[in-house]
Amino acid sequence: MSGLNVDVAGEGPDLVLLHGWGMHSGVWTELIPALARRFRVHTIDLPGHGRSAGIAAPDFEGTVDLVAANVPDGARVCGWSLGALLAQRLVQRGAARVSRLVLVSATPCFTLRPGWKHAIAVSTLEAFAAWLAEDRDATLARFVALNALDGAREREAIRAFTGRLAERGIPAGAALAAGLVWLRDTDLRADAGRIAVPTLLVHGARDQLVPVEAGRWLAQAIPGARMHELADAAHLPFFTHRDAFLAALEAFVG
Catalytic center residues: 81, 207, 235
Separation CA 232–CA 78 (nearest Å): 21
Q: CA distances (Å), 10 to each of 15, 38, 117, 210, 254, in order? A: 10, 7, 41, 31, 14
* Residue 126, number of CB atoms within 10 A of its CB: 13
